[in-house]
Amino acid sequence: MVVASMAAVAMPSLAAANPMMVVDVQSGRVIAHQEAFRKWYPASLTKLMTAYTTFRAMRAGQLSPDSVVVMSKHAADQPASKMYFKPGSKLTLDSALKLLIVKSANDVAVAIGETVSGSEAAFVQRMNAEAARLGMTSSRFVNPNGLPGKGQYTTARDLAILATSIRREFPEYAGYFALEGVTTGKKDYPNFNLLVGRFDGADGMKTGYICASGFNQVSSASRNGRTVISVVLGADSLGGRADLSADLLQQGLTATKAGATLASLKPYGEGIDQVTDISAQICNPQARQVRSEGRDEAGRMKLLSPYIHEMGRAPVMSFAGLIPGGDPVDAAKGAIGEIANVPIPRPRPTF
């Protein structure tokens, strides 16, 4: 089902039945949507709810950006993508949030949850309570990082509700989502969101991928006092989700009409009773070959959207390392540990 002139948007890498949406943040009105209520695996888009739940705890005075996050053994044991910090490592919540959003570190996500609520299980309960309060009626979370887990699902509509809530309620934390990259002082990590620094007005928010979900992306962009959110679920590649996200954002930023609000949009379509699994289409040899062919000779991602341009410079890196003395290995050796600094940015491939 394609609604509100969605057919006018180029869809180079999304199947016709895959979910997508673009929404005006201020009014909450839906500019375009497709399969908005189809249940989908969120993958690392789950970390948007982890961030939102943490922001709520910070607003309540429970924590601050300077609060110390300690890496537990349980957190350190999470599968990649992760930071590989040793159990006992310490970093500020500020650094942890940067690594959560930009590096999409699974170990850091669990460490944040344990810091906020005392345990991962308690934090997940809090995530689901927040989702219910926001009206995310077709979402359920089973962990803070989005790793595959039975019973974890969401929809494009619910993710749009979450993303607009973050932008409306916590403008003071919007900068976390717009970072071009982070550095531990030892290693740099460019943002997986290929629109940041390459799409005019792009200012976040999060990407995600597992075989079952395909390549997901929630994006935001602002121009002339207007902010829009796009949601793309199930694209077939990094470049595909970036292209479609850019096209949707451009449509949203230039649209003169909008439809129903997120709250009033009625459920429709198939796939609203069970979670869609596209592993067979995404994680097979042919699909991997196609993705490999989607890069140029230098290994750079080929992007097709006319609204994405080259950055033309090295991305700016924001410090997100351990606090001085926060590395248990260095502490055992009597070393000083990492210190916050401003490293010289390292060039990366354009896309």
Per residue in 301-350, pLDDT tens? 678 999 999 999 999 999 999 999 999 877 666 644 443 443 434 444 44
pTM of the model: 0.90
Q: In what order do the strands lie in the sheet with 30-34?
A: 2-3, 30-34, 20-24, 226-235, 214-223, 202-210
Label residue 271 exposed, middle or buried (CB < 10 Å: 0-12, 13-18, 19+).
middle
Is 187 inside a domain boundary? no
Tokens read off for 295: 């890069």
CA distance 351 to 346: 14
Report the candidate in 161, 201, 158, 159 with the shortest Cα–Cα distance to residue 178: 201
pLDDT at 5: 44
Confidence band, pLDDT 50/70/90 cuts, at residue 300: low
Is 7 inside a domain boundary? no
Phi, psi of 138 (to 5 degrees): -125, 40
Percentage of the chain surpassing pLDDT 90?
79
Confidence band, pLDDT 50/70/90 cuts, at residue 290: confident
pLDDT at 332: 64
CA distance 10 to 59: 40
Please state, as a whole number, how many other Cβ atoms lie within 10 Å of the Cβ of residue 86. 14
pLDDT at 57: 98
Assign residue 83 the CATH number of its domain.
Answer: 3.40.710.10
Answer whether residue 258 shows pLDDT above 50: yes
CA distance 197 to 128: 33
**What are the counts of helices (DSSP H) followed by strands (DSSP E) for the chain?**
10, 11
CA distance 46 to 52: 10
Q: What is the pLDDT of residues 68-88, one digit of tens each?
A: 999 999 999 999 999 999 999
Is 344 inside a domain boundary? no
| Range 270-284 average pLDDT | 91
> Which residues span the domain enclosing 261?
19-176+206-281
Q: Confirm if 239 and 294 have CB atoms less than 8 A apart.
A: yes
pLDDT at 184: 97
Is 24 inside a domain boundary? yes
Q: For residue 191, give the DSSP letter.
A: -
Is 62 inside a domain boundary? yes
Task: Name the average pLDDT for the chain.
Answer: 89
Is 305 inside a domain boundary? no
Number of domains in the chain: 1
The residue that leads in pLDDT, 308 or 9, is 308
Q: For residue 297, give the DSSP letter.
A: T
Is 68 inside a domain boundary? yes
CA distance 234 to 277: 9
| Range 20-29 average pLDDT | 97
Phi, psi of 182 (to 5 degrees): -130, 160
The residue that leads in pLDDT, 173 or 303, is 173
Answer whether residue 246 shows pLDDT above 80: yes
Is 4 inside a domain boundary? no
DSSP three-state, residue 222: strand
